[in-house]
C-alpha cells in the first residue's frame, strides 16, 4: 500500500445549494465537484445538449436518411472494447428501429487487424457489399482505411470521439466532438454517446420528411440509454453535465428492468442487484466482462450479448463472457507478478524518488489483450505513467499506456513522434490512456525517449500519490440514511468521483477474508457504536497496520446481505498511527 497524501477539497457551498433540500454532506460533496446550481444535477433528457451542435451532423444525416429510406446495405465497423461494443449495438438497434433491415456489423480482431478501420479490414468489409459504412468509436485516425473504403465505392460516415491528428480522413461525413472546428459543448462524449446523437438526428430528419406512419411508428430512442450508460461509464470518459444525464437516464431504465437482456444477464452472473444498479456496477461488473471478449477472443461475442432479445441466449453468452473474464484475471495476475519481478532490481537499487518518472516495460510472452490492465496496475503501484508492451509479430511490439494527472499521454506520444520521427509507427488515444506500436528493435530508444518526455513534463509533486477527500464525517453522520443518499447522489465516475471521506479510527478487530481482503471493526472517539469496514486487495505485508489506530480514507457504503442493508466503510487507503 503505497504512501498517500490525503488532501481535502476546498470549495464553499453556493447559496443556491444551501437553499436546496439536499443533505448538508451531499451539498458539500457537490460543491467540491463544481456544482453551484441544483439545475446541474437535474438529469432530465430535456437538459441534454442538442444534436445540432455537433459538426458534421448534417452531412451524416444526409447520407444515412436516404440509406434508411431505400433500405440500402449498411455496415457498422466497431472497436473491440466495451465502448465499441455498446456503440455497435446502439447503431444496429437504432437503425433496425428506424426500419432498416440490411444491417451488418464488423469488429476487427485485435490480434489480426489491430485497431480501427484499416485497409486490411476494408478487404473483409467488401464481402458485405455495403452501400454505406459507419465507423463507431473509431475512424478519426483511419486515413488509409477510409480511402480504401471510398475507393471500393462505399459511402463512409465516421463517428468517433478520439482526438484527431493533423490530418483527417476524407470521409463523406465525420461526427466527432473533438475534431477541429466542432463547438459542441460536451467534448467528453464516449463513442456510444456520439452514435446515439447521430441516431437522434437521423430520427428527427426522418420525422420531418413524413417517414413515420401508423404502420411504421416513430421509435423511442431513449430505450437505448441503458447501452449508452454502460459504454460511457466503461470507457471512463469524464462525467460532465451532459454525460451524467445520459448515464443517469440509462441507469434508471436498468433499475426499472427496462434494459436489454444482455445487461440483465451479466449483472445477474456478476451477483449485482439490477434494482439497485449504479454506475460502478457498469464500470466494475458489466464493462470488464464485455471487455474480456475483445481482450482474449472476439468482441462479436459481447455485441451479440447486447443485441439478443432472448434471455436464454443472453445467459449463455454472459456465461462465456464471465469465463473469459476469469481467464483474463488469471493472465493479468501472472503478468503482474512477472512485471514486478522484472522491476524489482530497479526498486532495490533506487529510492522511490530516484525511480524513472515514466516506466516502459516489455515481455515477449505477455498477452496483447491484457497489457492495458497491466499498465493500470503498475501505474497504481508507483503513481507514474506506464506503458506495457507485448509482442505483435513481424518485428513490432504493441504498447498500452496509462497516465496520471499532469501528463496528457497522447500529447506526450505526439511530442515523442515529433522529436523522433522514426521511433513510433502509429499511436492514438486520450489524456489518460493511449495505444501505440514501435519496432521491437527500438524499444530501448523509445523507453529513453519516454523517460525524457516524462522528466520534461512532470515535477516531483505530480508523482506523489494524493487522495482527495471530502473531509471528515462526524460519527452521527455515518448512517445508512446518508450512505443511501450518497449512493443515489450520482452517477459518480471520472471527473465526478464518488465521495471519499477520511478520519482516525481504532481497530477493535480484524480478520482476513478471501485471502487478500481485510474485514475490520472500527471505533471512533465520538461514539460507542462499532463500524464495519472492509479493505479490498490489501497485501499481507500491510496487515500489521491494522493493529491499534489507523488513519483511513473511505467511502460510506451500503452493504446488502441476505436482504438486509447496513452501513459499511469501504476503505480505499489506510496507514498505522
Note the pLDDT tens digit of each residue in 362-416: 999 998 888 988 999 899 888 899 999 999 999 999 999 999 988 999 999 999 9
What does the pLDDT read at residue 294? 82
Q: What is the spatial distance between Cα 72 and Cα 102, in angstroms, rounded to a whole number?
A: 7
E strand or H helix at 545, and its extent?
A: none
| Angstrom distance (rounded) from CA 408 to CA 458 | 10
| Mean pLDDT of all residues in 101-113 | 86
DSSP 8-state class, residue 256: T
pLDDT at 423: 93
Contact 2, 466 (CB under 8 A): no
Q: In the chain, which residues fall in CATH 2.40.50.460? A: 5-32+470-576
Which run of H or of E encompasses 485? helix 480-487
- Determine the pLDDT at residue 4: 81
Classify residue 218 by its DSSP letter: P
What fold is seen in the domain 5-32+470-576? OB fold (Dihydrolipoamide Acetyltransferase, E2P) (2.40.50)
Closest-CA residue to 153 (of 75, 58, 55): 75
Residue 353 pLDDT more than 90? no
Integer-rounded Cα Rg, in Å, for the chain is 24
Q: For the segment 241-260, what is each residue's pLDDT rounded down to a tens digit? A: 999 999 999 999 999 999 99
What percent of the chain has a predicted confidence (pLDDT) above 90?
Answer: 73
pLDDT band at 220; cut points 50, 70, 90: very high
- Residue 267 confidence (pLDDT) above 60: yes
Q: Is the pLDDT of residue 286 over 90?
A: yes
**Backbone angles phi and psi of 425, in degrees to 5:** -75, -50
Q: CA 154, CA 140: separation in Å to the nearest integer? A: 17
- pLDDT tens-digit series, residues 304-317: 999 999 999 999 99
pLDDT number for residue 537 = 76
Bond into 175 cis (ω within 30):
no
Residue 66: per-residue pLDDT: 98
Q: What percent of the chain has pLDDT over 70?
A: 96
Residue of 358, 292, 351 whose CA lies nearest to 321? 292
User: Do strands 527-535 and 424-429 pair parallel, antiparallel, or not at all (unpaired)?
Assistant: unpaired
Of the ranges 14-23, 323-332, 562-571, the best mean pLDDT one: 14-23
pLDDT exceeds cutoff 70 at 181:
yes
Say which CATH topology domain 50-251 has: inorganic pyrophosphatase (n-terminal core) (3.90.1640)
Q: Is the pLDDT of residue 349 over 90?
A: no
CATH 3.10.310.30, the chain: domain bounds: 350-463
498 CB burial (10 A radius; 0-12, 13-18, 19+): buried
pLDDT at 124 over 70: yes
Instruction: State residue 360's pLDDT score.
Output: 94
Name the band, by pLDDT with cuts 50, 70 and 90, for residue 108. confident
Range name among 7-11, 51-55, 79-83, 536-540 with the lowest pLDDT average: 536-540
Q: Work out the pLDDT band at 1, boundaries 50, 70, 90.
A: low
What is residue 547's predicted lDDT score, i.e. its pLDDT?
A: 63
Q: What is the pLDDT of residues 30-86, one digit of tens each?
A: 999 999 999 999 999 999 999 999 999 999 999 999 999 999 999 999 988 999 999
* pLDDT in the model for residue 440: 95
Mean pLDDT (the chain) is: 92
Paired residues of 574 in beta bridges: 552
Q: What's the rounded Cα separation, in Å, for the pair 102 and 129?
A: 11
Task: Using pLDDT thresholds of 50, 70 and 90, give the confidence band for residue 444.
Answer: very high
412 alpha carbon, distance to own chain's centre: 21
pLDDT band for position 198 (50/70/90)?
Answer: very high
The closest alpha carbon to 522, from 471, 561, 570, 470, belongs to: 570
**The pLDDT of residue 2:** 66
Q: How far, in Å, CA of 231 to CA of 75, rounded?
A: 20
Give the separation between CA 426 and CA 267, rounded to whole angstroms: 37
pLDDT of residue 539: 58
CA distances from 453 to 102, 199, 359 (A): 49, 41, 11
For residue 212, the model assigns a pLDDT of 96
**Alpha carbon of residue 308 to chain centroid:** 23
More confident residue, 247 or 4: 247
pLDDT-derived band at 548, boundaries 50, 70, 90: confident
Q: What is the pLDDT of residue 345?
A: 78
pTM of the model: 0.90
Q: Which CATH class is domain 350-463?
A: alpha beta
Instruction: Choose the weakest-confidence range: 102-116, 479-493, 497-511.
Output: 102-116
- Across 77-91, 348-362, 427-441, which has the greatest mean pLDDT? 77-91
Cell of 562: 441476505
Q: What is the separation of C-alpha 90 from the centre of its chain, rounded to a whole number of angstroms?
A: 17
pLDDT at 351 over 80: no
Question: Has residue 545 got a pLDDT over 60?
Answer: no
Rounded CA-CA distance 189/229 in Å is 11
Residues 339-360 have a mean pLDDT of: 78
Mean pLDDT of 482-488: 94
Amino acid at each position: 500500500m503505497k504512501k498517500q497524501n490525503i488532501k481535502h477539497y476546498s470549495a464553499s457551498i453556493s447559496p443556491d445549494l444551501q437553499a436546496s433540500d439536499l443533505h448538508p454532506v451531499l451539498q458539500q460533496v457537490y460543491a467540491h465537484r463544481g456544482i453551484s446550481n441544483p439545475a446541474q444535477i437535474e438529469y432530465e433528457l430535456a437538459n441534454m445538449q442538442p444534436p445540432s451542435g455537433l459538426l458534421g451532423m448534417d452531412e451524416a444525416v444526409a447520407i444515412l436518411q436516404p440509406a434508411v429510406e431505400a433500405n440500402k446495405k449498411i455496415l457498422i465497423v466497431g472497436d473491440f472494447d466495451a465502448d465499441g461494443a455498446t456503440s455497435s449495438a446502439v447503431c444496429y438497434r437504432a437503425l433496425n428501429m428506424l426500419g432498416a433491415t440490411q444491417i451488418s456489423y464488423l469488429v476487427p480482431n485485435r490480434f489480426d487487424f489491430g485497431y480501427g478501420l484499416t485497409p486490411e479490414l476494408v478487404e473483409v468489409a467488401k464481402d458485405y457489399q455495403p452501400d454505406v459504412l459507419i465507423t463507431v468509436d473509431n475512424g478519426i485516425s483511419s486515413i488509409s482505411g477510409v480511402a480504401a473504403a471510398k475507393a471500393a465505392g462505399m459511402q463512409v460516415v465516421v463517428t468517433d470521439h478520439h482526438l484527431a491528428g493533423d490530418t483527417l480522413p476524407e470521409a463523406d461525413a465525420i461526427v466527432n466532438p473533438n475534431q477541429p472546428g466542432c463547438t459542441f459543448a460536451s467534448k467528453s462524449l464516449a463513442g456510444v454517446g456520439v452514435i446515439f446523437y447521430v441516431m437522434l438526428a437521423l430520427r428527427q430528419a426522418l420525422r420531418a420528411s413524413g417517414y413515420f406512419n401508423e404502420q411504421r411508428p416513430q421509435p423511442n430512442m431513449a430505450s437505448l440509454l441503458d447501452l449508452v450508460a454502460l459504454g460511457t461509464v466503461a470507457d471512463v470518459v469524464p462525467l460532465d453535465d451532459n454525460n451524467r444525464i445520459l448515464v443517469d437516464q440509462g441507469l434508471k431504465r436498468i433499475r426499472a428492468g427496462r434494459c436489454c437482456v444482455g445487461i440483465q444477464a451479466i449483472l445477474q452472473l456478476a451477483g449485482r442487484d439490477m434494482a439497485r444498479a449504479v454506475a460502478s456496477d457498469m464500470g466494475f461488473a458489466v464493462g470488464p466482462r464485455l471487455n474480456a471478449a475483445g481482450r482474449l477472443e472476439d468482441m462479436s461475442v459481447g455485441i451479440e450479448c447486447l443485441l439478443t432479445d432472448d434471455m436464454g441466449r443472453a445467459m449463455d453468452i454472459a456465461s462465456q463472457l464471465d469465463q473469459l473474464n476469469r481467464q483474463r484475471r488469471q493472465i493479468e495476475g501472472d503478468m503482474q507478478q512477472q512485471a514486478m519481478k522484472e522491476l524489482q532490481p530497479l526498486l532495490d537499487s533506487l529510492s522511490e524518488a530516484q525511480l524513472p518518472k515514466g516506466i516502459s516495460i516489455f515481455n515477449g510472452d505477455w498477452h496483447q489483450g491484457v497489457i492495458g490492465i497491466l499498465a493500470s496496475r503498475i501505474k497504481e503501484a508507483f503513481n507514474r505513467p506506464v506503458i506495457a508492451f507485448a509482442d505483435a509479430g513481424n518485428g513490432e511490439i504493441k504498447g498500452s499506456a496509462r497516465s496520471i494527472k499532469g501528463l496528457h499521454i497522447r500529447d506526450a506520444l505526439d511530442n515523442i513522434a515529433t522529436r523522433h520521427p522514426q521511433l513510433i509507427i502509429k499511436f492514438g488515444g486520450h489524456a489518460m490512456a493511449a495505444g501505440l506500436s514501435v519496432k521491437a528493435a527500438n524499444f530501448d530508444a523509445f523507453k529513453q525517449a519516454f523517460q525524457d518526455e516524462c522528466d520534461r513534463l512532470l515535477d516531483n509533486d505530480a508523482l506523489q500519490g494524493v487522495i482527495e477527500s471530502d473531509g471528515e464525517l462526524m460519527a452521527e453522520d455515518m448512517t445508512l440514511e446518508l450512505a443511501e443518499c450518497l449512493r443515489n447522489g450520482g452517477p459518480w465516475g471520472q471527473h465526478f468521483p464518488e465521495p471519499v471521506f477520511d478520519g482516525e479510527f481504532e481497530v477493535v478487530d480484524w480478520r482476513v477474508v478471501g485471502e487478500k481482503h481485510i474485514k475490520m471493526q472500527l471505533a471512533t472517539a465520538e461514539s460507542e457504536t462499532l463500524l464495519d469496514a472492509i479493505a479490498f486487495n490489501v497485501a499481507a505485508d500491510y496487515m500489521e497496520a491494522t493493529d491499534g489506530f489507523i488513519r483511513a480514507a473511505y467511502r460510506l457504503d451500503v452493504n446488502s446481505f441476505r436482504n438486509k442493508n447496513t452501513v459499511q466503510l469501504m476503505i480505499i487507503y489506510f496507514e498505522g498511527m
